[in-house]
Structure 1
């Protein structure tokens, strides 16, 4: 089994408690590089519109604001280094991972994908 890394034990425990990750995710080693690759990977849109990725709305520089491609709404920077509120509320993290994975990937993210995305965001 893999050792905990990337997110840290306390973060994993909090995300499991919030229901963001299932208990087996505690055995995963979060991989920021995999999160970065997944961030820019494009997925076909279920409605036939242009393919989308996390970067479509959030951008590739997570220290800068993003803009929702459909609504035009400004999205605060994802990087905790410039937006200290990011990743502090486990319920919000769970809510937005569920919503954004469904919209972007067309499905819920796996526990591994969630852990990797969070690990990537934390590096910014």
Structure 2
């Protein structure tokens, strides 16, 4: 009977550790700047010395692309404003970090958002440089 108790204790300890680790993971958000830096580093593998530009990001955000849409078609020209999806009418919270501090804190969410929206708006996946520029624009909030 003693080995069973030891096994139960070990399993309980393991289960507690896994549970606590799971609770800590959602708290592992990154800063918008850290996420921007990762895209900027990826872009530098294509073009040495690349530096993200909020100006280029703003131009990209407002420019019409493949489907005659721009990012601002749904998100408005002002990233600090609330947008509205052009097809569904769904409200979209502000994209700018200054207006919505929860934006750009989860790398996997940022990548999912950029991948989906680039395919919808641009008609292709955006490059790391384009992603970095758009994030620089959203961080600057201009």
The TM-score, its normalising length taken from structure 1, stands at 0.77
In proportion to residue count, which structure has more helix? 2
Aligned equivalent of 2:28: none
Structure 1 position 44, deviation (Å): 3.4
Aligned equivalent of 1:105: 122
Aligned equivalent of 1:118: 135
Aligned equivalent of 1:35: 57
- Report matched runs for 1:17-96 at 5 Å: 21=42, 24=45, 27-45=49-67, 51-96=68-113
State the 4+ residue runs in structure 1 displaced beyond 4 angstroms. none
Aligned equivalent of 1:3: none
Structure 1 position 82, deviation (Å): 1.5
How many residues in Structure 1 have an aligned counterpart in Structure 2?
108
Structure 1 position 23, deviation (Å): 7.0
RMSD: 2.3
Structure 1 position 24, deviation (Å): 1.9
Superposed CA deviations along residues 40-78 of structure 1, whole A, max 9, x for unmatched, are 110232xxxxx1000000001111110000111000001
| SS of corresponding position for 2:45 | helix
- Find the aligned partners of 1:66 and 1:96 in 2 and give their Cα distance: 15
Unpaired segments ≥5 residues, structure 2? 1-31
Structure possessing the higher radius of gyration over alpha carbons: 2
* Distance change (3 Å), C-alpha of 1:22 and 1:73: same
